[in-house]
């Protein structure tokens, strides 16, 4: 695998170029601030909302999306996946010039043919592997968040040089920018969201509900499950030293043996492997994308109902109590 670092990139590739950030949300704000601190000329394209106000408060020039697309030679498309197709078609498609660069932070729209850029521009991927706040925080500390990078279309024959300049500008080449294709970034990202995260959330919820029924104190149980932050800290360490090594170096023999002795018991390998294959298949054959389109067209009714029901759950109410009694 090819990994690009600071020595492999240069901000000179961005000289005399304007970078237009479309969307000043979770990713947009952090990347815009980092690029500006790196000496890059940044414009913000955003509708009139609270994000627009935040961008103005941060001292950015905020213009209509179509004007930013027209005035910028590098356009970073940082709005949610489901909004990209309509925003692109209405505001961006007719305002692209030859050799412009369109950068995505997630490969979804290209991989599932939601957006079809012309052949006479560069199309690239710059996908930081963390949300906005850490991107900004790590940058200010002199470090950065790793990212996946790819060039889908290189019309200018300068796409890699320019893309790596942008990656350097947001701090991604400090730890390393890994060459991962649009397809692989999209499929692995969706897989984690559709298999690993549901597995974690369901396991926590089921453990909480069943142990409370058996008489365990809800607040103490929630603290032990995740609220202490212990598991989160160990996962962060695992990112640096390895998922097996973190338990060996930071867990007691009792904990280590408990993990070893129950791994195969708590998760049936054969059944889980089938679920993994089915999850990936639904991503790759477009089934999930179609389901998401239907949900979006309904105004995310199922998702809204899910979130409202979660707020009323015993676990969520216990979290509120815990927030009052534990003084972090």
Q: Which DSSP symbol is given to 240?
A: H
Q: Is 294 exposed, middle or buried (0-12, 13-18, 19+ CB in 10 A)?
A: exposed
Decide: 125 and 149 in contact? Cβ < 8 Å. yes
- Residue the block writes with tokens 């815009």: 32
Phi and psi at residue 39, in whole multiples of 5°?
Answer: 90, 15
Q: Specify which residues 126 forms β-bridges with.
A: 149
| Alpha helix stretches (DSSP H) within the chain | 26-37, 50-57, 65-71, 81-87, 108-111, 132-140, 159-170, 182-191, 197-213, 218-222, 230-241, 243-250, 253-266, 269-284, 287-297, 301-311, 314-325
106 is a catalytic site residue: yes
Decide: 110 and 152 in contact? Cβ < 8 Å. yes
Task: Please give the Cα distance from 136 to 134 (Å, whole number).
Answer: 5
- CA contacts within 13 A on the Cβ side of 250: 16
Decide: 165 and 171 in contact? Cβ < 8 Å. no
Q: Specify which residues 151 forms β-bridges with.
A: 124
Q: Which residues are catalytic?
A: 106
């Amino acid at each position: 695998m090819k990994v690009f670092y600071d020595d492999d990139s240069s901000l000179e590739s961005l000289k005399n170029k304007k970078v237009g950030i479309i969307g000043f949300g979770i990713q947009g704000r952090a990347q815009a601030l980092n690029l500006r601190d790196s000496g890059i000329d940044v414009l913000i394209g955003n509708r009139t909302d609270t994000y627009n106000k935040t961008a103005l408060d941060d001292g950015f020039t905020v213009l209509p999306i179509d004007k930013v697309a027209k005035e910028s030679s590098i356009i970073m498309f940082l709005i949610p996946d489901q909004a990209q197709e309509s925003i692109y078609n209405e505001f961006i498609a007719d305002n692209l010039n030859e050799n412009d660069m369109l950068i995505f932070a997630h490969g979804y729209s290209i991989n599932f043919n939601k957006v079809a850029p012309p052949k006479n521009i560069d199309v690239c991927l710059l996908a930081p592997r963390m949300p906005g706040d850490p991107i900004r925080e790590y940058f200010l500390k002199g470090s950065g968040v790793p990212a996946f990078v790819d060039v889908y279309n290189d019309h200018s024959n300068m796409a890699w040089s320019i893309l790596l300049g942008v990656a350097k500008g947001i701090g991604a080449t400090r730890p390393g920018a890994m060459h991962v294709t649009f397809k692989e970034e999209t499929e692995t990202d969706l897989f984690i969201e559709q298999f690993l995260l549901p597995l974690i959330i369901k396991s926590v919820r089921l453990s909480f509900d069943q142990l409370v029924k058996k008489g365990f104190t809800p607040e103490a149980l929630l603290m032990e499950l995740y609220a202490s932050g212990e598991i989160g800290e160990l996962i962060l360490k695992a990112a640096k030293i390895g998922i097996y090594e973190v338990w060996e170096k930071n867990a007691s023999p009792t904990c280590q043996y408990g993990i070893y002795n129950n791994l195969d018991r708590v998760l049936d390998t054969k059944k889980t492997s089938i679920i993994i294959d089915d999850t990936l298949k639904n991503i790759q054959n477009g089934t999930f994308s179609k389901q998401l389109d239907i949900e979006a067209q309904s105004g995310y009714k199922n998702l809204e109902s899910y979130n409202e029901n979660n707020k009323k759950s015993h676990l969520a109410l216990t979290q509120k109590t815990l927030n009052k009694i534990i003084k972090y």
